[in-house]
Structure 1
Amino acid sequence: MNIRILKRMLLAGLLLLSACGGTSNIGPNAGPTTQDNVNPVIGSISGLLDGDTVSGTVPIAASATDNKGVESFSLRINGSQVANTSGGAMSYNWITTGGADGSYTLVFTASDAAGNTTTRTYTVTVDNGGGTPATGTVGGKIYAPNGVDPISQALIYLFDNTKPDNMGTSDETEPDGSFELAGIPVGSQTFVMKKGIFEDTFTFNVQEGTNTLPSGLTTFDAADAGDMLVVTGAYDVIENVLAKLGLGEVDASGNLVLGTEIFDLVDGASKLDDADYPNFDTVFIDNRDYTGYKTIFLNCGNEWETPFFADTDAVADLKSWVEDGGRLYCTDWSYDFCEQLWPEMVSFENTDGSGDGVSTTPGNPNEAQLGASQSTIQADVEDAFLLSWLDGRGAANSDNTIDVADWLPSWTVINDVSDDVKVWVSGEVNFGFPTTAAQRPLTISFDAGTGSVLFSSYHTEEFASTDLTAQDRVLQYLIFEVL
């Protein structure tokens, strides 16, 4: 074949291969690679424009898009990051009254997973009049989820991202639930209120002068109690009191309507339908799957105590749960859940005296039920805030005592407590054989690790009632104070 013709044929073949998208790459890595070189796009920014003069609180809302998705979207003001989100939408309330008047540089930065970055810079001037910015006083009352009972010593504060822990002006509520925050900048502001396991956030448009917050904003959400677990007992009904706090519905007699409770129920006394509620042994002995809860209530009269305390792993796990931040509340015959785990904190009466006095050795189980039957004890309230709160609810007597009723025979008697134990209620009681009269703690609490334990010798609510007794009120207060 003519060499010239052969060269032309080879050249035509190469041209054809190139036109068909051919490549000289050979092997498993053949083919072109695709690299993301597309920068994110910062879209609209509402609330301000480049070159604006602003004052007060500036609500900023910005958006960004990317062909592969926005990895991060941040805002820096004068070099300090004040907002950052993992998506393409950002909102931020800039409280300009927290700084001096003058020029500020705002840098919005959007990035994708490939490292492509887009920035947009605004320069704005803050002018709050060069003098004292307009402010208002914000007041109101904080309520339990039932919207009726006020919460004492709840924390409420202005959310301020320029402050440590975002806590700006703050106050603690009085026994009647009231508070007052002065010097709050006018405009839309965010407030946080906390008490125990309850925490809620809301916004309010502050006006110059006096502002009274509506109760709808300052009532704790019942859903905050979703981390509570209640173990039923034979002789106490804590769940009824919780329902009256707004954590469930009650019937005409004052009993919890099963199925309406915000908290979880576990059967400790063959009271509940096994098809709807687990038994104590399943949750606390077999599976020990209560670690997600923040608070556990143990009613008096648990039929699973003997097998529980026979299982050293189950006992150790409950103790660890508390000391890792859990809150445990026990009444009357459930006292062994306190003394057997923390004998150095509380000692109960024993028939043979082995539990007399606080020590590292607990007394014998089930031997402290020595209390004599009494219809009512006029008990002393040992905490000033609790007394003031009870007085405001009409639950305290004129001599600063409360009536604690329905003392059945064989209730549990505290012998002694450590100096680190807080005594909330005490009283002169009758106990033992022969009967002895002595002043004893009746409601106590103490810290255990980062958690806490609360015990009450008397029942919270032995009989269903639509009314709230003095001892019901004590539990209401302590749910927010300790638990």
Structure 2
Amino acid sequence: MFCCIFALALVGCNEPKKKPSNNVFNNQNPEVCDNLIDDDGDGTIDCADLDCLGVGNCGNQNNNNINNNNNTQHMFTLRGKVWGPGADNASMLDVNRIPVPQALVAAYSYEPPDPTPLPGGLCNQCVDVPNGVIHAFSDTDGSFELFLYPNTNYWLVVQKGEFRRVTQYTAGGLDEVEDLEPAAGLPRNPATTLPNRFNPNLKQWIPKILVVEGTYEQMDLLFESMGFDYGVEIVVVSDSSASGIFNDMNQLRQYNLIVTTCGDDASYLTTATARANLRQYVYEGGKLYVDDFSYDFAEQPFPEFLNFMADGSTCGMGTSAPGTVGDCNNWSSYSPMGTPGDPYLDAWLGIINPGGTIELLAAWDIIHSMNPGLQGECEDDMDPNCVDGNYIGPPKVWMYGDWSGYTHNPVTVSWNYYCGKVLYTVYHTHSGSGGTGWDYALILQEKIMMYLIMEIQTCTDPVIVE
């Protein structure tokens, strides 16, 4: 049985690391509980393996969430799927309900601490799931499975980056199974739906988001179709009037994520203060999502990573940013056919867009080339990108595009900079037609954008780039 829980204290809490042992099946060999060997091949050893519950010195503590074929301990099974914000609302269009892969689902036997509020919690550092906490990371379709102690009270945490919901849950009886998924077309279970409101009293957290709107794009339809309070909880400011924010580090630190939309009126970005502040903001853990004509929000503080093609000429070459915003804008639109450069994004698109093509509407700017740049510190001397303790690498490509004159050209890329991340994409939301609020049907590239927003604000290690 679920119920909302309340808390008063705000203490530190970072996002757990993904473990390679999650969501796999054991082989048929029994686990020996005291030989320091993973006998049954499930990625866990001795007392960390579910087989060893109550055996020898292992006691009753276990943090394995594996579907183990050799369990001698009878447990309660909890199944479900993690869904994107708004999926639990009956007003949401079913086509806008998107599954969330690689989300943490953890069953705490005690009330977990709340996330650290901003500005102290800007760096979302990856940490291990606490020992003894039963947990899983959702599969590509959002599905998960936990083996819980029967008739036991838990705090169920569902988290993707800064999106986090905590709900009290009581496990059922011995060998019983509960599937939290409703019938197709019905609102999803609130306990496994990421929140769209920031309400710590109800144990719901979302990233603090600033949208810097350019002349050519707004994002109200995207966010409102998922139930976000656009213009209130999601702060919106025009690019031409945001100079005070970008010239003040204390204001920047109030946001986990800054989204900049298509426009080129942010002339203040060429100042040394704004450039340095943006670079420092990302260094400390801030995330930048930059699209199309607003490229200067990425190029001015990080000129070393990307070069552009503007109306037939190269632009932004070298390690010095252009002296004027908008210099690298390409004033000819194109709609590339996309090919995912990330295997997890590719698999996810296979679920929400099975067998379909990926047409990315109304892109303008063109990435000419990518260059390696400093992304953090490293310790692996065998990695060719690890140079004298510094990780020097090119951007990661999330999506390639094909269009007239271009084949397999990067159209969505990102890079780390210590604890933060920067993502740049040449296409924007390009809102479809018809409907507002809950009645607006997201087009494919808007769903991709929401996927990427959730991905780039997941945890990073502020020192070691993995």
Name the TM-score class by shorter chain.
0.5 to 0.7
Which of 458, 461, 465 is 2:427 aligned to? 458
1:244 aligns with 2:233: no
Contact persistence 2:432–2:441 (CA under 8 A): no
In structure 2, distance between residues paired with 1:286 and 1:294: 15
Q: Give the alignment of 1:260-279 within 5 angstroms.
A: 261-268=232-239, 279=241
Does residue 137 of the first structure (1) align with residue 77 of the second (2)? yes
For residues 401 and 331 of structure 2, what CA distance do their matches in structure 1 show? 13
Q: 1:203 to 1:320 in 2, by over 3 A?
A: same
Task: Please state how far the C-alpha of 1:323 moved relative to its aligned partner.
Answer: 1.1
Q: 2:98 — aligned with what? A: 149
**C-alpha distance in structure 2 between counterparts of 1:168 and 1:287, whole Å:** 37
Cα distance in 2 for residues equivalent to 1:184 and 1:371: 61
List aligned pairs for 1:277-356, cutoff 5 A.
279-285=241-247, 289-303=251-265, 305-309=266-270, 311-349=271-309, 353=314, 355-356=316-317
8 Å contact from structure 1 (residues 390, 473) kept in 2:
no
Describe the superposition over 1:97-155 as per-residue Cα deviations: whole angstroms up to 9, x where unpaired.
Answer: 977899x9xxxxxxxxxxxxxxxxxxxxxxxxxx9654211110111221132211111
Q: Is the alpha carbon distance of 1:299 and 1:186 closer, same or farther for their aligned partners in structure 2, counting shifts above 3 Å? A: same
- Other structure's SS at 1:149 match: coil
Q: Distance in 2 between matches of 1:284 and 1:134?
A: 56
Contact 2:137 2:144 in 1 (8 A): yes
Counterpart secondary structure, 2:191: coil
Cα distance, 1:242 vs structure 2: 2.0
Higher Cα radius of gyration: 1
- The answer as to whether partners of 1:133 and 1:185 remain within 8 angstroms in 2 is no
Any idea what the Cα deviations from partners look like across 1:139-192, whole Å, max 9, x if unmatched?
A: 101112211322111111222569963562221112221111135454112222
Q: Is the CA contact (8 Å cut-off) linking 1:231 and 1:266 kept in structure 2?
A: yes
The answer (yes or no) to whether the contact 2:158–2:191 under 8 Å persists in 1 is: no
Is the partner of 2:268 in helix, strand or coil? helix
Partner residue of 2:119? none
TM-score, normalisation: structure 1: 0.61
Q: Check conservation: 2:315, 2:328, Cα contact below 8 A.
A: no
Q: Is the 8 A contact 1:240 1:461 kept in 2?
A: no
Query: Which residue of 2 is the match for residue 76 of structure 1?
Result: none
Deviations 1:366-416 (A, max 9, x none): 332236333x3221122222223223223x544xx4011134xxx211112
How many corresponding residue pairs? 325
| Partner residue, 1:82 | none
In structure 2, the CA distance between the partners of 1:171 and 1:315, relative to structure 1 (3 Å rule), is same
1:437 positional shift: 3.4
Distance 1:164 1:232, change over 3 A: closer
Deviation at 1:336, TM superposition (A): 1.5
1:388 to 347, 351, 360: 347
Distance in 1 (CA, whole Å) between partners of 2:342 and 2:129 is 31
Tell me the secondary structure at the aligned position of residue 217 of structure 1. Answer: helix
- Among residues 190, 208, 213, which one is paired with 1:216 in the alignment? 190
Which is strand-richer, 1 or 2?
Answer: 1
- 3-state SS, counterpart of residue 344 of structure 1: coil
Measured in 2, the distance between the counterparts of 1:363 and 1:268 equals 18
Query: CA distance change for structure 1 residues 165 and 345 in 2, over 3 Å: closer, same or farther?
Result: farther
SS of the aligned residue for 2:330 comes to: strand
Q: Which ranges of structure 2 fall in alignment gaps of 5 or more residues? A: 1-51, 60-70, 88-96, 113-127, 182-188, 199-204, 373-392, 435-439, 458-466
Q: Per the alignment, in what secondary structure is the counterpart of residue 406 of structure 1?
A: coil
Q: Which consecutive unaligned segments of at least 5 residues does structure 1 have?
A: 1-96, 105-130, 249-257, 270-278, 431-435
**Counterparts in 2 of 1:168-183, with a 5 A limit?**
168-183=133-148
For 2:244 and 2:322, the matched residues in 1 are separated by 27
SS in 1 for 2:156: strand
Q: Distance in 2 between matches of 1:150 and 1:172?
A: 13
CA deviation digits over 1:15-47, x for unaligned, max 9? xxxxxxxxxxxxxxxxxxxxxxxxxxxxxxxxx
- In the alignment, the residues of structure 1 paired with residue 420 and residue 302 of structure 2 have an alpha-carbon distance, to the nearest angstrom, of 12
1:190 aligns with 2:155: yes
- 1:35 is aligned to none
Matched, 1:416 2:375: no
- Name the structure 2 match of 1:235: 216
Q: How many angstroms apart in 1 are the aligned matches of 2:252 and 2:448?
A: 26
Q: CA deviation at 1:225?
A: 2.8
Is residue 349–residue 370 contact of structure 1 (8 Å, CA) maintained in 2? yes
Looking at structure 2, the residues matched to 172 and 245 of structure 1 have their Cα atoms a distance apart, in angstroms, of 23
Match of 2:8 in 1: none
Secondary structure at the residue paired with 1:246? coil
Deviations 1:52-96 (A, max 9, x none): xxxxxxxxxxxxxxxxxxxxxxxxxxxxxxxxxxxxxxxxxxxxx
Checking the alignment, whether the CA contact within 8 Å between 2:221 and 2:431 is kept in structure 1 is no
Structure ranking higher on relative contact order (CA contacts 8 Å, 6+ apart): 2
CA gap 1:198/1:413 in 2 versus in 1, 3 angstroms: same
- TM superposition shift of 1:235: 1.3
Give me the identity figure in percent.
Answer: 27
Aligned to 1:11: none
CA RMSD of aligned residues (A): 3.1
Aligned pairs for 1:195-206 within 5 A = 195-206=160-171
Aligned partners of 1:247 and 1:191: how far apart in 2?
23
Residues 354, 364 of structure 1: 8 Å contact kept: no
Deviates more, 1:170-179 or 1:327-336: 170-179
